[in-house]
Amino acid sequence: MTPEELRQRLDPIVGREGAPQHAPDPVNEPMIRHWCEAVGDLNPAYLDDDFAAASLHGGRVAPPAMLQAWGMPGLRPRGEIRSGPMGEVLALLDAAGYTSVVATNCRQEYARYLRPGDRLNVTAQVRSVSDEKKTALGVGRFVDQLMIYRDIGGEEVARMEFRILKFRPPARATAEAGTGRPRPRPARSRDNAFFWEGVDERRLLIQRCDGCGRLRHPPGPMCPDCHGFDWEAQEASGRGRVYSFVVAHHPPIPPFDYPNLIALVELEEGTRIVSNLIGVSPDDVAIDMPVEVVFTQVDPDLVLPLFRPIPGR
Ligand SMILES: [Zn+2]
């Protein structure tokens, strides 16, 4: 699609008002309370019946900045998001390669306070779609949307101008996977230096508390049981069992291979360690599978203790 063709298809949509969408819930006190707790706004006009009744509001009101929450369609919307003028514009921009989205600006105007029991509907129109712009995220187009919130009597209670950038994502993650970019370096500190020095010598060292004998990993300065600071390093056999695992598919982060098999291994000495499993496909991993450490040169100056199934077990 050429820029001219895209413009021809966008123009009839711009300025058209979509059908009203009904807010899923009336303005209500539980949602107000959760929102206030989440943002740390403890204004008693929102939360305290007695205070609100004696205030100029004469009863509880909703925080104005909570406006957008009332029109949210939920985590699994029933088709509303991709319908209407905004949905049509987003579909056209997706088809033209602007597949990523970021919200860039939001401006709200309030005509009155909302109160518990108010039932709202929202209409949306796309006000403009810009020509292609170069941004730090990539080339894209700004889409300005106007949403008008009305109560059940048709009175406008608020409006919101919402601007997004639809942009072409740089092909970074996929292009960089497998290009030899090194794995992140472990952060060596005074607490864990012994562990990484052990790995450099192909030894798996585990901290053991001098006070109570408890093993712990990852390394730390204090025993979580007896709060003692004295410890020694004990060399582990390197054998253990898969206590739990996950198979990460997305997002692909270079230079890791995907699917990325990450396991929590319970060492036979009794503490656990997170690492990658190698030499096994995700379909063949099982909880309790016996595994052993294999010190692996993952790049020229990094050795990591990875784990593989014990052959013949
Ligand atoms: Zn201890």
Please, are residues 238 and 204 in contact by the beta-carbon 8 Å criterion? yes
The maximal CA–CA distance of the chain, rounded, in angstroms, is 78
- 107: β partners: 161
Mean pLDDT of the 292-301 span: 90
Mean pLDDT of the 163-185 span: 71
- Ligand 1: distance of its center to the CA of 180 in Å? 42
- Ligand 1: distance of its center to the CA of 274 in Å? 22
| Amino acid 207: pLDDT | 96
User: Is 178's pLDDT higher than 60?
Assistant: no
Mean pLDDT of the 159-179 span: 73
Instruction: Give 3-41 pLDDT, tens digit per residue.
Output: 899 999 999 999 998 889 899 999 999 999 999 999 999
Distances (CA, A) of 78 to 72, 73, 109: 12, 8, 28
| Amino acid 38: pLDDT | 94
- Ligand 1: distance of its center to the CA of 224 in Å? 7
What pTM was computed for the model? 0.56
- Ligand 1: distance of its center to the CA of 206 in Å? 13
Please, are residues 12 and 140 in contact by the beta-carbon 8 Å criterion? no
User: Is 166's pLDDT higher than 80?
Assistant: yes
- Ligand 1: distance of its center to the CA of 212 in Å? 4
| Amino acid 84: pLDDT | 84
Please, are residues 265 and 272 in contact by the beta-carbon 8 Å criterion? yes
- Ligand 1: distance of its center to the CA of 210 in Å? 7
Query: Which residues are CB-neighbours of 54 under 8 A, at least 6 positions away?
Result: none
- Ligand 1: distance of its center to the CA of 222 in Å? 8
- Ligand 1: distance of its center to the CA of 227 in Å? 6
| Amino acid 33: pLDDT | 97
Considering the chain, what percentage of its residues have pLDDT values greater than 90? Answer: 73
- Ligand 1: distance of its center to the CA of 149 in Å? 60
- Residues 282, 259: Cα–Cα separation, whole Å: 8
Instruction: Give 114-155 pLDDT, tens digit per residue.
Output: 999 999 999 999 999 999 998 877 899 999 999 999 999 999
Domains of the chain: 3-27+62-170 (3.10.129.10), 193-309 (no CATH)
Minimum mean pLDDT range among 52-56, 67-71, 166-170, 207-211: 166-170
Average pLDDT, the chain: 91
Protein residues within 5 Å, CB atom, of ion ligand 1: 209, 211-212, 214, 223, 225-226, 228
Residue 306 identity: L
| Amino acid 176: pLDDT | 46
| Amino acid 77: pLDDT | 60
pLDDT band at 177, cuts 50/70/90? Answer: very low
- Ligand 1: distance of its center to the CA of 216 in Å? 9
| Amino acid 174: pLDDT | 44
User: Is 78's pLDDT higher than 90?
Assistant: no
- Ligand 1: distance of its center to the CA of 221 in Å? 11
- Ligand 1: distance of its center to the CA of 215 in Å? 8
- Residues 99, 94: Cα–Cα separation, whole Å: 5
- Ligand 1: distance of its center to the CA of 225 in Å? 5
Please, are residues 207 and 193 in contact by the beta-carbon 8 Å criterion? no
- Ligand 1: distance of its center to the CA of 209 in Å? 5
Q: CA 268: distance to chain centroid?
A: 35
- Ligand 1: distance of its center to the CA of 226 in Å? 4
pLDDT band at 311, cuts 50/70/90? Answer: confident
235 compared with 82, residue with greater pLDDT? 235
